[in-house]
Structure 1
Amino acid sequence: MKAIMVVGTTSHAGKSLMSAAICRILSRRGWRVAPFKGQNMALNAYVTSTGGEIGYAQAVQAWAAGIMPWVEMNPILLKPQGDMTSQVIIKGKPVGKVSAVDYYEQYFEMGWRAIEESLHHLGSEYDLLVCEGAGSPAEINLKHRDLTNMRVAKHLNANTLLVVDIDRGGAFAHVVGTLELLEPEERALIKGIVINKFRGQRSILEPGIKWLEQRIGIPVVGVIPYLDHLFPSEDSLDLLERKPVKAQQEINISVIRLPRISNFTDFDPLESESSVSIKYLSPKQDLGRPDAVIIPGTKTSIPDLLLLQKTGMAEAIQNYAAAGGTVLGICGGYQILGQMIADPEGVEGHAGRYQGLGLLPIKTVITGQKIARQRQVTSNHPQMGLPVHGFEIHQGRSRIEIPALGTDSQEYQPLFDDANLGLVDRCQSVWGTYLHGIFDNGPWRRAWLNRLRQQRGLKSLPTGVANYREQREQVLDSIASEVEHHLDLTPLL
């Protein structure tokens, strides 16, 4: 099978973006192309149409290629959950929880079989695979058990790009050092160097490029400018680099940056709104008085709930809500807003019963069986009858603790025609839902934002807008066009 491999000198070099751009570039040229990442460690996940979990970045790359995401595009997903352990997901399904020390002893052979099977399946369906590595391919203490980088490249005999982030400094040393640490057969697969996130003048960089090409004997096939696009992140380190302030912001929303925050890609559609400013707030910071507070998804609801209580953020959110502030919880954040979370089996590592923030009348029990599925429902609030698409990923089962839910006299109302997916109080101040991707729904997002705007005395935004996937398509096209202008793929094709 034909394949291109994209590896990086470091984490955050730009491998995910480069892979997505190449998928879109080749798709536009008529190739039937699919993305692949053998093993991903991330808490931003997506649920495929068959109910399997993959890294969200691989879903974005599939959309860039113009195809539906499959579990074979990311056969191994590791979801860290603290205490040096991760949940292991193979071909979309959880198979266990394991420590970093024991992972490779217990899952290496199973993982490589899943990778081989997935590559065979994809290779039979597509002309070319765009494979993404992870971290660095030259971690000498890990190379013997690396399931993601040059093992995959050698298996496929894939022409490989090495991407380096010049914005952080030390780019030439990173390239030379990485190549020095590769085995000769691995280095032979590297057909081009991509210098990413370049902010300066190309003429000043040119002498360095000439020196590098003479030193390593490999061409620099691209110098990609720093792209100021909102591209979905793989992990929460990227949140520290995001700029919270916009010139024209009218609505300020604070998202609590939980230690095990997951699926914060939920908020990309909010960040795409020119009038909205998103600030990711540490639980140790002052809450202040934003227009809304969001408690996001988390891999482990109970430890993050305990941290909110320890830092005083839990009390601050309760006081904020009592004063009429708007609070929204998604997935684990929804559970945290409830009356109680119990984990009788210690699935999250903290067996017992724990008092939640008490802002919604639900009680949650954490179980070993995970719910992962796509959903299509109809909205009851903030506007009746809107179609809403999204997906669930959670191990808790939440029970509503009030009778006759939905009657006009009730203090709480179901958010959707499926009451199990979420609640809102009668004042529409406290919201909770299990639905990831809720803000992707343009009319629902605008209706929710308009309530915040009305409280500020601002004019309502039009609700007849497209869903975020159309904006995402425009972003992917823009990124691909910019990359294509600065990247020569000829040595790889």
Structure 2
Amino acid sequence: MGFAEKADCPVVIIADIDKGGVFAHLYGTLALLSESEQSRVKGFVINRFRGDVKLLEPGLQWLEEKTGKPVLGVLPYLHGLHLEAEDAVISHQHVEDGQRVLKVAVPILTRTSNHTDFDPLRLHPEVDVHFVGKGQSIPECDLVIIPGTKNTRTDLEFLKENGWDQDILRHLRYGGKLMGICGGYQMLGKAVHDPDGIEGIAGSSDALGLLDLETTMIREKTLTRVSGVMQLPGQDPVPVTGYEIHAGVTKGPALNQPLIRLDQEVDGVMSDDGQIFGAYLHGVFEEPDACTAILKWAGLKEASRIDYHLLREEGINRMADAIEENLDMRRIFELCGVQQSGNAP
């Protein structure tokens, strides 16, 4: 509400009925606001309702009478809906019993970033993604992926404190594959240096020592969308797209044979034994052929080709259709000061 006060804009309160107590949630939230904040609230929306909305109408009438605020609509529960989470880990996943799957483990760091990197894997019918939390051991799996992080040295220490470095070494001894993305890629090298204290206290940290490279943090941050070609050992070249967002510069002999050739640079390193793959590229699993190639490298020889971009657009369109059909869009547009054409709903 502080933002709404600062921006001087109207507010709609949305509550998830699937969690229960929706009327107490809406009524109580409004009651706890200051008078100026209450005046900004122009209505309510109830989300994720299962069943016949007519059964809810007495409650909606009660809420409007008690608060003097309109209910602008009730959105249905959309089964199987995929929308990207902005900054959270979505752990639920459905895998058919008896289906041949590639088991992927992702240790969750204290400052894990770009969680959406793993959405294409979670939605893949032949991949079982397991997120490993603090105090848990990395389970037996085919592929371990160390994710990106907002603070490489701090999360490198966190990884070691949880014993995940030893879990990873055991995983490699048993022939498993290991991948690092962005900050996770930096951890695979020999050391991470931060002489200017870009991410915290200045200094250097010994990394996992699995690739012959080192990373130095610099003030100028790389932030760019890229496209190019990736060629994993023994496979044909495939198109790849994504983005880079990092503060480090990585150098070392391991980069002499890059796996990914982008518009203006190269990326991607693999160990001599073919077990370890590191790259700065976020979104690498979103390109269907690139995802299939990495899954094949990790052990899924006959991976289905999944069009993640299509799945994402379908989810957005489903949500947009539900909003248009179930909310009072005319009133909402009026709250936003948007002029509608005569044919608008």
For the criterion TM > 0.5, the same-fold answer is: yes
AA of the residue aligned to 2:95: K
Alignment partners' CA distance in 1, 2:96 and 2:30: 43
Which of 461, 465, 478 is residue 303 of structure 2 equivalent to?
461
Asked if structure 1 preserves the Cα contact closer than 8 Å seen for 2:221 and 2:246, the reply is yes
Asked if structure 2 preserves the Cα contact closer than 8 Å seen for 1:371 and 1:394, the reply is yes
2:95 is equivalent to residue 246 of structure 1: yes
Residue in 2 that maps onto 1:190: 41
2:247 is equivalent to residue 395 of structure 1: yes
Alignment partners' CA distance in 2, 1:260 and 1:477: 31
AA of the residue aligned to 1:396: G
Alignment partners' CA distance in 1, 2:155 and 2:58: 50
Alignment partners' CA distance in 1, 2:127 and 2:324: 31
Shift of 1:484: 2.7
Alignment partners' CA distance in 1, 2:150 and 2:218: 13
Asked if structure 1 preserves the Cα contact closer than 8 Å seen for 2:259 and 2:270, the reply is yes
2:274 is equivalent to residue 422 of structure 1: no
Count matched residues.
Answer: 327
Residue in 1 that maps onto 2:337: none
AA of the residue aligned to 2:152: S
Asked if structure 1 preserves the Cα contact closer than 8 Å seen for 2:188 and 2:208, the reply is yes
Alignment partners' CA distance in 2, 1:296 and 1:199: 36
Shift of 1:191: 3.2
2:161 is equivalent to residue 310 of structure 1: yes
- Matched ranges for 1:334-373 at <5 A: 334-373=185-224
Residue in 1 that maps onto 2:312: 472
Residue in 1 that maps onto 2:81: 229
1:482 alignment partner, SS class: helix
Shift of 1:186: 4.6
Deviates more, 1:249-258 or 1:166-175: 166-175
1:218 alignment partner, SS class: coil
Residue in 1 that maps onto 2:329: 489
- Matched ranges for 1:375-386 at <5 A: 375-381=226-232, 383-386=235-238
2:128 is equivalent to residue 277 of structure 1: yes
5+ residue gaps, structure 1? 1-136, 138-145, 407-413
Shift of 1:283: 4.1
Shift of 1:251: 1.6
Following TM superposition, the consecutive aligned residue runs of length 4 or more in structure 1 with deviations greater than 6 angstroms are none
2:330 alignment partner, SS class: coil
Alignment partners' CA distance in 2, 1:325 and 1:396: 27
Which of 155, 161, 165 is residue 16 of structure 2 equivalent to?
165
Residue in 1 that maps onto 2:281: 435
Q: Deviations over 1:13-32 (max 9, x none)?
A: xxxxxxxxxxxxxxxxxxxx
Shift of 1:313: 0.8
Shift of 1:425: 2.2
Shift of 1:185: 5.4
Alignment partners' CA distance in 1, 2:39 and 2:65: 16
2:270 alignment partner, SS class: strand
Shift of 1:278: 1.3
Shift of 1:469: 2.1
Shift of 1:350: 3.2
Shift of 1:201: 5.1
Alignment partners' CA distance in 1, 2:13 and 2:225: 35
- Matched ranges for 1:187-226 at <5 A: 187-199=38-50, 202-226=53-77
2:146 is equivalent to residue 295 of structure 1: yes
Cα 1:295/1:402, change in 2 over 3 Å: closer
Alignment partners' CA distance in 2, 1:483 and 1:246: 29
Asked if structure 2 preserves the Cα contact closer than 8 Å seen for 1:283 and 1:313, the reply is no
- Matched ranges for 1:442-457 at <5 A: 442-454=288-300
Deviates more, 1:188-197 or 1:364-373: 188-197
- Matched ranges for 1:44-63 at <5 A: none
Alignment partners' CA distance in 1, 2:20 and 2:280: 41
Cα 1:289/1:393, change in 2 over 3 Å: same
Alignment partners' CA distance in 2, 1:451 and 1:367: 33
Shift of 1:437: 0.8
2:285 alignment partner, SS class: helix
Cα 1:176/1:462, change in 2 over 3 Å: closer
Q: Give aligned-pair identity as a percent.
A: 36
AA of the residue aligned to 1:258: L
Residue in 2 that maps onto 1:47: none
Alignment partners' CA distance in 2, 1:290 and 1:244: 16
AA of the residue aligned to 2:153: I
1:149 alignment partner, SS class: helix
Shift of 1:200: 5.4
Shift of 1:264: 0.9
Alignment partners' CA distance in 2, 1:252 and 1:277: 5
AA of the residue aligned to 2:240: V
- Matched ranges for 1:98-109 at <5 A: none
Shift of 1:295: 0.5
Residue in 2 that maps onto 1:321: 172
Q: Deviations over 1:79-108 (max 9, x none)?
A: xxxxxxxxxxxxxxxxxxxxxxxxxxxxxx
AA of the residue aligned to 1:489: M
Alignment partners' CA distance in 2, 1:312 and 1:187: 49
Alignment partners' CA distance in 2, 1:292 and 1:433: 15
TM-score (norm 1): 0.62
